[in-house]
Amino acid sequence: MNDVSISGGRLLKRIFKLGSVGRDAEGLTRLAASDTDKLGRDQLVRWLQQAGLEVAVDRIGNIFGVWQPAPTRHMAPVMVGSHIDTVINAGMYDGCYGVLAGLEVIQSLKEQDFEPARPIVVAAFTNEEGVRFAPDMMGSLVYAGGLALNEALATIGTDGSILADELRRIGYAGDKAPGYMKPHAYVELHIEQGPILEREGRAIGAVENLQGISWRKITIDGTANHAGTTPISMRADAGYGAARITTYLRERARTSATQTVATVGCLTLEPNAINVIPSRATLTVDLRDPFEHRLREEEAALDDFLKRLAEEEALRISVETLSRSSPVSFSQDIVATVEAAAGKRGLSCRRMTSGAGHDAQMIAAVAPTAMIFVPSAGGISHNPAEHSSEADLIAGARVLLDVVCAIARR
């Protein structure tokens, strides 16, 4: 452990404050590059400035708070952070916790005259959630060189907007080249968003790997017809096709002996009229598995199913890949540092896989990376009921402090 301590009160106050930014009667929503995302970004920048950090923004809108004491200027930084964009009607901890705890760690180190051997940087990556602009983890993917900047900037959102225009409009089309600062190491603190830590009564998760994610958009074209006069045998019902795909995915995942999970999160029917057989259905499929070969098997099995379904039901089915990331393993050295830090603080800890996608999976391509999880109440996330206890939030931030000190001292 070290003699620097964080201010748990300041961290919690900022989490709750940021959790109120972009909230209305429907709930908390700060979709990437939206007006509410701007409000969240502006609030974060104010806090970074108050902490005396240099604020930098790159061309994909990633925000960095940089602390680089003069003797460290030529060194690669230790980077912490996550994201502050949210899903629709979100919880207030997903992403924001990791950014604000990272800020708290740096601000406390700075205030208590810690002398790092390296700069320490907190990052808030653009568009981690991918709800408005696919793919998800976009800002960190561009930062790590996994997606060309211009291709990302040209992305068209679900509302028809163009990301480049939106970043300019909200004032976060920065001037730094993505990747301009190659981290010496990256550590991301995040809520688990799943049930494991709470179920096992553990305080800390030392995350050593993260599962692969396949996002696809499926368009099913049938034939609009009269709901009353058209015999079932003469229908090309796009809505029925969508239902068959949803139940196929669920049954296959439910009965398989693997860890595969499958979700149909978006579904629209056209013309969406009570007495018209749908001519078109558009749906999204989110497939995940910790093993690449399993994920590929699931993608291939779905393709075969779609072919059969199209023939059986006289439908035309097309598939568009929205995002695809392979499973990622993190730095065993940093994972061990997380475990040691938790142990020294008497916090029960276990190694685990992340079911959710995170910016860490992208930054792992360019720097030794690992994650720290704290328990999610009821395993709930991407839901306004998302909650982690104040004690767990502070404990996680203290472990982040210890891990950063251990790496920054080396």
Q: DSSP string of 279-342?
A: SEEEEEEEEEESSHHHHHHHHHHHHHHHHHHHHHHT-EEEEEEEEEE--EE--HHHHHHHHHHH
Residue 183's binding partner among Mn ion, ligand HGY, none (Cβ under 5 to 8 angstroms by kind) is none
Cβ nearer to Mn ion, comparing 14 with 184: 14
The one among 37, 58, 104, 128 contacting ligand HGY by CB under 6 A: 128
The one among 129, 166, 221, 359 contacting ligand HGY by CB under 6 A: 129
Letters for 132-161 (x = contact with ligand HGY by CB under 6 A, - = none) are ----x-------------------------
Cβ nearer to ligand HGY, comparing 129 with 198: 129
Residue 175, CB-side half-sphere exposure with 13 Å CA sphere: 2
Alpha-carbon distance of 241 to 278, in angstroms, equals 10
Residue 95's binding partner among Mn ion, ligand HGY, none (Cβ under 5 to 8 angstroms by kind) is Mn ion
Alpha-carbon distance of 175 to 243, in angstroms, equals 46
Residue 58's binding partner among ligand HGY, Mn ion, none (Cβ under 5 to 8 angstroms by kind) is none
Is residue 357 a contact residue for ligand HGY (CB under 6 A)?
yes
The one among 37, 58, 85, 94 contacting Mn ion by CB under 5 A: 94
Is residue 359 a contact residue for Mn ion (CB under 5 A)?
no
Say if CB 153 and CB 58 are below 8 A apart: no
Residue 136's binding partner among Mn ion, ligand HGY, none (Cβ under 5 to 8 angstroms by kind) is ligand HGY
Q: Is omega for the bond preceding 135 within 30 degrees of 0, making it cis? A: yes
Q: How far is the CB of 81 from Mn ion (least distance, A)?
A: 11
Say if CB 409 and CB 113 are below 8 A apart: no
Of 90-98, 155-163, 176-184, 362-370, the segment contacting Mn ion by CB under 5 A is 90-98
Is residue 166 a contact residue for ligand HGY (CB under 6 A)?
no
State the angle between helix axes of 96-111 and 35-50 in degrees (0 to 180), rounded to the nearest 10: 10
Residue 402's binding partner among ligand HGY, Mn ion, none (Cβ under 5 to 8 angstroms by kind) is none
Cβ nearer to Mn ion, comparing 94 with 286: 94
Q: How far is the CB of 362 from ligand HGY (least distance, A)?
A: 11
Residue 166's binding partner among ligand HGY, Mn ion, none (Cβ under 5 to 8 angstroms by kind) is none
Of 19-27, 86-94, 339-347, 361-369, the segment contacting Mn ion by CB under 5 A is 86-94
- DSSP lists the bridge partners of residue 191 as 374
Of 109-117, 124-132, 145-153, 264-272, the segment contacting ligand HGY by CB under 6 A is 124-132
The one among 122, 342, 356, 401 contacting ligand HGY by CB under 6 A: 356
Is residue 192 a contact residue for Mn ion (CB under 5 A)?
no
CA distances from 219 to 156, 175, 259, 354 (A): 17, 38, 27, 30
β-pairing, 120-124 vs 23-24, is: unpaired
Q: How far is the CB of 150 from ligand HGY (least distance, A)?
A: 23
Alpha-carbon distance of 409 to 118, in angstroms, equals 8
Is residue 95 a contact residue for Mn ion (CB under 5 A)?
yes
CA distances from 281 to 224, 255, 275, 289, 308 (A): 11, 26, 16, 26, 17
β-pairing, 78-82 vs 349-354, is: unpaired
Alpha-carbon distance of 359 to 69, in angstroms, equals 26
Residue 357's binding partner among Mn ion, ligand HGY, none (Cβ under 5 to 8 angstroms by kind) is ligand HGY
What's the chain's length in residues? 410
